[in-house]
Amino acid sequence: VSATARIDARAFLRVKRDGGRHDPGELEAFVLAAARGEIPDYQTSAWLMAAYLNGLADAERDALTRAVIRSGQVFDWRSLGRPTADKHSTGGVGDKISLALAPLVAACGVAVPMVSGRGLGHTGGTLDKLESIPGFRTQLDAQAMRAQLERIGVVMVGQGPELAPADGLLYALRDATSTVERPWFIVPSIVSKKIAEGAQAIVYDVKCGSGAFMKTEGDAVALARQLVDVTRAMGANAAARVTDMSQPLGVAVGNALEVREACDVLHGGGPADVRALTLELAAAMLVLAGRGEAEARAALERALDSGAAWRRWLELIVAQGGDVDAVERDQLPRAPAVVPVPAPRAGVLAAVDGFALGELIVAIGGGRRAKEDRVDPRVGAMVRRRIGDRVDAGDVLLELHLAAPDPAAVERAAAAFTIADAAVAAPPLVIASVA
Amino acid sequence: VSATARIDARAFLRVKRDGGRHDPGELEAFVLAAARGEIPDYQTSAWLMAAYLNGLADAERDALTRAVIRSGQVFDWRSLGRPTADKHSTGGVGDKISLALAPLVAACGVAVPMVSGRGLGHTGGTLDKLESIPGFRTQLDAQAMRAQLERIGVVMVGQGPELAPADGLLYALRDATSTVERPWFIVPSIVSKKIAEGAQAIVYDVKCGSGAFMKTEGDAVALARQLVDVTRAMGANAAARVTDMSQPLGVAVGNALEVREACDVLHGGGPADVRALTLELAAAMLVLAGRGEAEARAALERALDSGAAWRRWLELIVAQGGDVDAVERDQLPRAPAVVPVPAPRAGVLAAVDGFALGELIVAIGGGRRAKEDRVDPRVGAMVRRRIGDRVDAGDVLLELHLAAPDPAAVERAAAAFTIADAAVAAPPLVIASVA
């Protein structure tokens, strides 16, 4: 029995079973008790199902967020002497924005204490991408994070067990009980981890389209609104962008390929959409940290063009033990087989099934089906055509980077592209802004 | 991994979460896998909450019943050479019917393989009542049950772990997750145990009123209908009576007191309502076993009046190790303090709160709050007035049988009685019959 008042879990369950509202303090106590192992998993999972079906009101959702934050440590970087900001993406195919964004923002004087996840399902994870750099360490303790933030203003690490541990428990139970997809569960899970990592301002990139979890603009905007509202309720500043995921972001999909593309952006190049979105989200971070919009944009362009952002990236790699030579000399791991996938007919590229493409990358070894799976950093795809492009029969739609020849993979890749007769307009990159 | 096909528990949960219907075979496989420990409790409890909220259709409810039956052994008494029948009551205050009924029916040539439960909550349990007879054993193995059924046609035992073990697991999870009170869970739980004990015909006594779980006639009749339908779907014959529980049944409430009252009935006496309900339910059992109604009634009256039923009761006690002398000489344990509870005013007895009275018996030691609690066989109450009786101020409403003087108990007992000014009609004993 703990020092806190004992929870009557059965009475608590009756409230949500009957469609009632929990007292926020009681909800917080229940979740904290579950995280301490004082509520058995079978009661927690029954509550998750009741809350999945009967919903959580905003005050309950905020209490859940608060409980998950308080279940662990909360980093506090206020004594750093400079503002902190971070970015979170809901995940998409080819979304390597964080890689260039973190050193770029740091180069403009705002510290980025970025805590990221691994890929699971059809989208990649920032940690997996970073680990395609030989030697790169993603586990640092709080003291090492602080020292690095003071010195170079940026860290990119994985979530340790000290941050928001209740989220790990709740997510595992939601995953096992088919109670994942509800905004009142998703929002606390995302926001709690960002608040626990200690950033004072957070920009959310809510992906929308075939390659994202949110398929419609309405759902994506609603999620963005909630992310911003709950983040503010937890005492941090926030903004969000809803951005297009109707096709992969940029050209590269796959871990080492995406690091290479991020390097291009940090050199002032890279695909136009990747550069534009990096600047859009970085500017939003600087604005939340107190800069004017125009001043922020100018500082960011300068940092890219002057090489300051690139140098910060190399400092980050050195600080976290990565092989900086491999990055500078473009010697990241490469797949032995590069196979072109041709267009079967002439026309206009009308759609790219990002979900199918993401699943294909997992199938060829570039992602995980289970947490224990190892990821092959070399494999992936280079997407050579974008929605609205004219193609002739035989034109290369994409190149597959494979560990071994795989004709089925080529067929699956081709099937992800839809070619139409008439002209097609691609959606805008930034669909909506939520302030 | 078991020999059966692996269950995709997450997909199964999605079906009920989304309000769909399970394939009966899949539902059966899920419950059997849960009973074997192959489905973790946190998935089973999430399913229970989804099914509590979204319901089970009749075919699903039948599949659940079948699965619980198949999770354990099923007794088969068909080779006994005589029909078998049993009675199940949904539980009420002062309901000692089983004690006299089982030897009475056996004395009329129908074997009674009765498997009973212990008291929990405000109602007593047949096992606790039997155990107020010193030495009475309620745990017999199947072989000993068979031998005793062959010899004297009646056994009264507790449920061993071999019968319907899935019910134990599901009930524990329902109790812990506040998902108890749904007919599609209650009916399979009751019917599965009766089918597993091997009776070919089952009469259900569904209690209705302040001292019962079912408070309204409509709810009670609906439950009775389902009990009969599901029992038939499982291949046994069935009937039900909805009977009054707006006041305690008979006079005695409490373990040894109720055994003494059952002895009175078996001697041809006892309170009129206890005798009448014993005959009503016993006749229903004989009719299900093939006797004509009039013939059954006559045989039962004869067995009571001739002493045949009383002798079978003594044979039962001897066979199961009970102190038959203590029963014959009326020397069952007695409480040291017998305290009258007087009427505070004159009038007509209008209501008796059976639930409050049942809770009071638990409080003075005659029942359990938790499975581990020990029951004091001596304590209880003798209820001296019935609904509709005229009372004068100071008339004894009931006598409390206490282990030690307890003024608070006297006050609580008095508060359970409502005295009105005008005449009040008591409900009929048998409210409805379901065939």
A353 Cβ contact list (under 8 Å, min separation 6): A210, A211, A415, A416, A417, A418
What pLDDT is recorded for position A164? 95
Count contacts between A and B (CB, < 8 Å).
83
pLDDT at residue A105 greater than cutoff 80: yes
Q: Are B202 and B237 in contact (CB under 8 A)?
A: yes
Which of the residues B45, B171, B175 would you substitute to probe the A interface, choosing the one with the greatest number of A C-beta atoms within 10 Å? B45
CB-based contact, A170 to chain B, within 8 Å: no
Q: Which of A62, A86, A95, A167 is catalytic?
A: A167
pLDDT at residue B115 greater than cutoff 50: yes
- For A49, the closest chain B residue by CA position comes to B46
What pLDDT is recorded for position B5? 53
- Give residue A128's Cα distance to chain centre: 12
Pairing outcome for strands A417-420 and A347-352: antiparallel
Instruction: Answer yes or no: is the ipTM higher than 0.90.
Output: no
What is the mean predicted confidence (pLDDT) over A257-279? Answer: 97
What pLDDT is recorded for position B120? 66
User: Does A302 qualify as catalytic in the annotation?
Assistant: no
CA separation for the pair A380, A250 (Å, rounded) = 13
From the list B41, B46, B179, the residue facing A179 with the nearest CB is B46
CA separation for the pair B366, B369 (Å, rounded) = 10
What is the mean predicted confidence (pLDDT) over B136-162? Answer: 95
Q: Are B428 and B390 in contact (CB under 8 A)?
A: no
Asked if the Cβ–Cβ distance from A178 to B13 is below 8 Å, we say yes
**What is chain A's mean pLDDT, rounded?**
94
CB-based contact, A389 to chain B, within 8 Å: no
Asked if the Cβ–Cβ distance from A178 to B49 is below 8 Å, we say no
Residue A403, amino acid:
A
The per-residue pLDDT for range B382-418, each reduced to its tens digit, is 999 999 999 999 999 999 999 999 999 999 999 999 9
CB-based contact, A346 to chain B, within 8 Å: no
CA separation for the pair B51, A257 (Å, rounded) = 47
pLDDT at residue B213 greater than cutoff 50: yes
Q: Which of A22, A96, A174, A275 is catalytic?
A: A174
Region of A250 please: left (phi>0), alpha (psi -120 to 50) or beta: left
The per-residue pLDDT for range A15-39, each reduced to its tens digit, is 999 999 999 999 999 999 999 999 9
The band of B2, judged by pLDDT with boundaries at 50, 70 and 90, is: very low
CB-based contact, A40 to chain B, within 8 Å: yes
From the list B17, B53, B177, the residue facing A42 with the nearest CB is B177
Cβ neighbours of A34 in B, within 8 Å = none
Lowest mean pLDDT among A122-136, A318-332, B16-30: A122-136
CA separation for the pair A6, B210 (Å, rounded) = 32
The per-residue pLDDT for range A180-236, each reduced to its tens digit, is 999 999 999 999 999 999 999 999 999 999 888 888 999 999 999 999 999 999 999
CB-based contact, A43 to chain B, within 8 Å: yes
From the list A9, A40, A50, the residue facing B49 with the nearest CB is A50
User: Does B189 qualify as catalytic in the annotation?
Assistant: yes
The per-residue pLDDT for range A131-158, each reduced to its tens digit, is 999 999 999 999 999 999 999 999 999 9
CB-based contact, B11 to chain A, within 8 Å: yes
User: Does A193 qualify as catalytic in the annotation?
Assistant: yes
Give the tokens for residue A119.
């890929």
What pLDDT is recorded for position A1? 35
CB-based contact, A42 to chain B, within 8 Å: yes
How much of chain A exceeds pLDDT 90, in percent? 90
CB-based contact, A50 to chain B, within 8 Å: yes
Asked if the Cβ–Cβ distance from A178 to B53 is below 8 Å, we say no
What pLDDT is recorded for position B4? 47
